[in-house]
Amino acid sequence: MSSPCRASLALAAVALLGGCDREERDSRGQPVTETVPAGATADTIYPGGPSGSTVTLSPKAAAYENNAYHIAQGQQLYGQMNCVGCHAHGGGGMGPALIDDEWRYGGRIEQIATTIVEGRPNGMPSFRGKLTDTQIWELAAYVRAMSGQVRKDAVGARTDEPSNTPPLTQTRREPIVPGEDATP
């Protein structure tokens, strides 16, 4: 267990009941994964694929997805890499909204990671070579957090920006695939 986790346990054990692994962070040893899926299928745009939600989350992706540290890192990168300039705080602008219930290229973490690495034809730049794979996973985890896809105890209660966007803890979960149950 990492030291920030132990410290917070001491301070607020109640709040952390069952939430300890959300702070897990591999500061030593192997990073969670060094490979970003090169072409996670965007299951919402190609007809003729397998029916139903067949995409299963790899354990490695899951490690990023509900991890407070990685999500917080992703949030910082989201500002530093100028995602915020095109997508605002999820509402969109030059790029589409990321907090709504519509995903052009899929809203699962692998699919989002693919979007970030590869870029997308209508103006989403490719960040290949500009970010490490870890950073891409972190960004993807944060993008998921914006539409309420991750565990509430893994997201920060306040944003780093001076603006008054609502905290992620209050974000309603939006369905990933149309018709899918939106409750987590």
Distance CA 145, CA 169 (A): 9
Distance CA 12, CA 95 (A): 40
Q: Crossing angle for the helix pair 109-118 and 133-146, nearest 10 degrees?
A: 120
Distance CA 60, CA 110 (A): 10
Q: Where does residue 37 rank: exposed (0-12), middle (13-18), buried (19+ CB within 10 A)?
A: middle
Which part of the chain contacts ligand HEC (CB under 6 A), choosing from 53-61, 115-123, 157-165, 176-184?
115-123
- 66: phi then psi, degrees, rounded to nearest 5: -110, 30
Nearer residue to other proteins within complex by CB, 100 or 180: 100
Residue whose pair of structure tokens reads 């939006």 in the numeric block:
174
Binding ligand HEC by CB under 6 A: which of 83, 99, 109, 154?
Answer: 83
Residue 104's binding partner among ligand HEC, other proteins, none (Cβ under 5 to 8 angstroms by kind) is ligand HEC
Under the criterion CB under 6 A, does residue 81 sit at the interface with ligand HEC?
A: yes
Nearer residue to ligand HEC within complex by CB, 13 or 160: 160
Residue 100's binding partner among other proteins, ligand HEC, none (Cβ under 5 to 8 angstroms by kind) is other proteins
Which part of the chain contacts ligand HEC (CB under 6 A), choosing from 31-39, 57-65, 117-125, 152-160?
117-125
Positions in the binding site for ligand HEC (CB under 6 A):
81-83, 85-87, 94-96, 98, 103-105, 112, 115-116, 120-125, 127, 139, 143
